[in-house]
């Protein structure tokens, strides 16, 4: 494989999350969890708990927020 192809592959991999989202939660496959997605999987999830996890306040849990929730034991791995 040429150096340019290896560089391209490395860039693609760097732009891809290096963990697998739970497909049972991430219904639309966008790599983030919304409150409705989480509540469908975890009926005990409250808006207040979701808001605590959503550090950016954008209404979605991104990779870092999900990882923090998993580490805190609030979200499943």
**Spans of all domains in the chain:** 23-77
Bridge partners (DSSP) listed for residue 60? 34
Bridge partners (DSSP) listed for residue 34? 60
- What is the per-residue pLDDT across 27-45, written as a single tens digit (0 to 9) for each? 999 999 999 999 999 999 9
CB atoms within 10 A of CB 31: 16
What is residue 10's predicted lDDT score, i.e. its pLDDT? Answer: 44
Bridge partners (DSSP) listed for residue 61? 33
What is residue 21's predicted lDDT score, i.e. its pLDDT? Answer: 79
DSSP designation for 2: -
What is residue 77's predicted lDDT score, i.e. its pLDDT? Answer: 84
CB atoms within 10 A of CB 25: 18
Classified by CATH at the fold level, domain 23-77 comes out as Recoverin; domain 1 (1.10.238)
Percent of the chain with pLDDT over 90: 69
Where are any strands of DSSP class E within 1-77?
Answer: 33-34, 60-61
């Amino acid at each position: 494989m040429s150096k340019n192809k290896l560089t391209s592959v490395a860039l693609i991999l760097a732009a891809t999350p290096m963990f697998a989202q739970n497909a049972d939660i991430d219904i639309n496959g966008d790599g983030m969890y919304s409150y409705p997605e989480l509540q469908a999987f975890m009926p005990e999830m409250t808006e207040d708990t979701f808001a605590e996890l959503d550090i950016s306040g954008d209404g979605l849990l991104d990779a870092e927020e999900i990882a923090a929730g998993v580490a805190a034991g609030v979200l499943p791995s």
